[in-house]
Structure 1
Amino acid sequence: MAAFEYKAFDAKGKTIKGIIDADNPKMARAQLKRQNIFATEVKEQKSGQVVQGKGLNFEIDIGKVFQRVSINELTEFTSQLETLFRTNVDIAEALQILGEQTDNEMLRLALVEIRDEVRQGKSLSSAMRAHPKIFNDLYISLVEVGQESGNLDQVLARLRDYTQKVQAIRQKLTSALAYPILMGGISISVVLALFIFVIPRIKETFDSFGATLPLLTRFFIGISDFIVYRWYIPFVAVIAAIYGFRQWLQTKAGSYQFDRIKLSIPIVGPMFRMVSISRFARTLSTLMKSGVPMTSALETAKGVIGNKVLAEVIQQAQDSVLKGKNLAEPLSQSGEFPPLMVRMIGIGERTGEMEQMLLEASETYDQRVDSKISALTSLLEPIFIVVLGGFVGLVALAILLPMLNISSIIK
């Protein structure tokens, strides 16, 4: 059975569109007709498919190019799948139910394909592996372990808790960044308005005097002229810089160096480090609780930590564990992991409670990130006010200086 996207009109003549499951386009039209829906167009869909047609006859659906499954939607899906599975609903039927009720087309099409592959005898984890944009290595590894152990409902519950925590952290970071981004946008808008509209008019007034203006006034007028008459230069420079930066990030050395820089930035660098380490600890704890061996769990955690510098340290730790050594020692020697995390891992290895210690370490760092975000947000507000107020004050001074000496300028 495949998924078909259709455009149609109902009995009242209203245009509608949607997705229906059928063996072929003819049966899809027949199903729609039985529902008093008359299809004008029916075409088979695949998840991630954005181009239809042959040769030069094609169309690109821009909406599908940028369509994504958010962490919120993945969390909701995981929670509902766990509930259905816990109530003994068959996996294929559960996927059918969830596919029908989701509003995200990318997720719906993926669930249709996964359901069909499960019905054909594939495991759920294998079917999910074909959709890496939705289900990452951590998700697939846990589902695979759950299937092999027969505890898929428990594993899905852990995945639900994990995705909910990740979602909560992202929401906090987004909320924390929203204010400085808004204030930064307002500040830039005010500055540009001064340079584009206010200063040129003042320049016209002073030009009529025909006198030499103070250095500060000439400096701001020069910047204004550059922005008004040479705007394309900074525009091209910004575009070129963005393009060059993105190309640099695509190189192995560039992405590694950028991750190193992120960890070294004053104030926010330690926060980046704590977020990554908390994610590592929570991921490793979740995997090990589900029965994944430590070496395999480290491999997966390395892929989701989000920083190549720390991922390299985890790779070295994984090599050390494979040689029979403990995990805490290589992490300590790297200097990249905080002493608290290293000590908690060491205690967990000695007491046999590694999973619990990792989870507690993750919670500790999450709390630290929360407090740092609150402190940073409260600090940014006065900084923006002082910086913007200072700049506006300089512009006002540049205007007032020649006006104070207006009598000498007129002479």
Structure 2
Amino acid sequence: MEAEKIGFIEKLLIKLNKPKLDNKVAFYRLLAVTQNAGLGIRDSLDAILNGEQHPGMRKIVDDLISQTSQGTSLADAMENHAYFFGHEEIALVKSAETMGNLPDVLQNLSDELENFQQIKGKLKSALMYPSVVLVFTAIAVVILLIYVMPTMVDMFPSEEDLPGITLFMMGASDFLQDYWFLVLLGVISLGVGYKMAYTYLLPFKIFMDKVFLKAPIVGNLTRSFNLYRFSKLLGDFYNAGVGPTDALEQISEILSNYHYSTKIKNVKNDLSLGLGFVESMEGSWLFDPILIQIIGIGENTGNVGEVLEKISSFYRDNLDQSVEGLMKALEPLIMAFVAIVVGVIVASIFLPMGELIGTIG
């Protein structure tokens, strides 16, 4: 019997109070523990609900209890909350319920989500420092241009005696004071425009995704991230009993990079025609030769899931090194940029001051 779908208003309220990734990790981990202890799905969900504090998560678990009590499978019940549970998570749970290895899959899901959370945290940390420095630099520049520069210029009887760099900064100061709203609007429009173009303009997305893969430092980071996600997800699907074509279809929708997503779809089509992974992936600049060889070995020995788990650990370590490399590379670049900006402003102020002192002397 199909459970009644949760109402639109209630679902909207849950979305507004959407649980965090920590809540999802804890949910999968507790569900795995209770399943290993021999509890049924309904009893496991009841135990999780009793200890859950997050209001949005309580709503989700309560609805899962309601649906599973009416005979709905856990995976089908989770589909009612696809805004919270990922498509790949639902597919893994559905396969695990069929194969009978639900506790192992749930534990693996919690571990993978925790790893993904750690990666996101490292990326945020890597970008936090340069972001803070740039914000404070921008604030300092605005204060100097609006308040310091006009006061300094008033000391001179004629603007014709000022150096060219000072005249340029005066023009920037006047423009900022008169049209600050245009500058602010331009910055906001640039950010929103990029996001809209990347989301809705396919040629722009294709171009930017290739830039992310080819750019120094960032390219290695992007490549390592996609190879880690590909190998880990494919290994998880194999271990959960999902067929390779179904697994690749899911992965192609999960990976956001256009080039990886398209290539994985092509590999899926080749497998449907009877080709193997090696024949389809060989020669692609998106995949490392070692990865292709590892998958080929797994195909020959029948343990694709196991070898993919091992190679995914390698890419995870490589990803950590790429994040550290990004942090080391950004710091001197940001400091050089700040030094140039500060140097231009200082020169525009002290050059005419030096000339004025010389004239007085």
Normalised by the length of structure 1, the TM-score is: 0.80
Query: How far apart in 1 are the matches of 2:185 and 2:9?
Result: 39
Unaligned runs of 5+ residues in structure 2 are 1-6
Q: How many angstroms apart in 2 are the aligned matches of 1:159 and 1:233?
A: 47
Deviations 1:292-344 (A, max 9, x none): 11111111122222212201000000011111111123223332222232232
| Runs of 5+ consecutive residues of structure 1 not aligned to the other structure | 1-43, 51-63
In structure 1, the residue matched to 2:346 is 396
**How far apart, CA to CA, are the structure 1 residues paired with 2:280 and 2:198?**
28
Contact 2:228 2:315 in 1 (8 A): yes
Match of 1:49 among 12, 17, 26: 12
Determine what percentage of the aligned residue pairs are the same residue: 27
Number of the residue aligned with 1:9? none
Aligned to 1:335, the other structure's residue is in SS state coil
Mapping of 1:351-362 within 5 angstroms? Answer: 351-362=301-312
Aligned partner of residue 89 in structure 2, secondary structure:
helix
Q: Which has the higher strand share?
A: 1
Q: CA RMSD in A?
A: 2.3
Corresponding position of 1:174 = 124
Q: Determine the structure 2 residue equivalent to 1:258.
A: 208
CA distance in 2, matches of 1:217, 1:400: 9
User: What is residue 126 of structure 1 aligned with on the other side?
Assistant: 76
- Tell me, yes or no, if structure 1 residue 315 matches structure 2 residue 265: yes
The amino acid across from 2:268 in the alignment is Q
Are residues 1:220 and 2:169 paired? yes
Q: Is the 8 A contact 1:138 1:301 kept in 2?
A: yes
Q: Structure 1's 217 and 351: CA in aligned 2 closer, same or farther, altered over 3 A?
A: same
Looking at structure 1, the residues matched to 18 and 115 of structure 2 have their Cα atoms a distance apart, in angstroms, of 20
Instruction: Tell which structure's C-alpha radius of gyration is larger.
Output: 1
What is the rounded CA distance, in whole Å, between the counterparts of 2:9 and 2:93 in structure 1?
A: 23
Distance in 2, matches of 1:232 and 1:410, equals 40
The total of aligned residue pairs comes to 354
Give, in whole Å, the separation in 1 of the partners of 2:19 and 2:170: 49
Closer, same or farther in 2 for the Cα pair 1:232/1:139, shift >3 Å? same
Given residue 49 of structure 1, which amino acid in structure 2 is its aligned partner?
L
Q: Report the Cα distance in structure 2 between the residues aligned to 1:171 and 1:241, rounded to whole angstroms.
A: 26
Using the TM superposition, give the Cα deviation of residue 410 of structure 1 relative to its aligned residue in structure 2, in angstroms: 7.4
Q: Secondary structure at the match of 1:405?
A: helix
Mean Cα displacement is larger for which, 288-297 or 104-113? 104-113
Rounded to whole Å, the distance in 2 between the matches of 1:403 and 1:75 is 61
Letter in 1 for 2:252: K
Q: Which amino acid aligns with 1:199?
A: M
Q: CA deviation at 1:47?
A: 4.6
Indicate if the aligned counterparts of 1:46 and 1:109 stay in contact, CA closer than 8 A: no
Of Structure 1 and Structure 2, the greater helix share is in 2
Structure-2-length-normalised TM-score: 0.90
Deviations 1:81-111 (A, max 9, x none): 1111211222123223323433332222111
- Greater length-normalized contact order (CA 8 Å, ≥ 6 residues apart): 2
Residue identity opposite 1:107 in structure 2: M
Partners of 2:293 and 2:145 lie apart in 1 by 55
Give per-residue Cα distances to partners, 1:103-153, cap 9 Å, x unaligned. Answer: 332222111111101001111100001111111111111111121122211
Q: Within 2, Cα distance between the matches of 1:150 and 1:362?
A: 25
> Paired residue for 1:195, among 145, 152, 156?
145
Worse-superposed segment, 155-164 or 305-314: 155-164
Out of 10, 35, 39, the residue aligned to residue 85 of structure 1 is 35
Post-superposition CA distance 1:143-177 (Å, at most 9, x none): 11121122211221221222222222222222222
CA distance in 2, matches of 1:119, 1:389: 65
Code of the residue aligned with 1:344 in structure 2: it is I
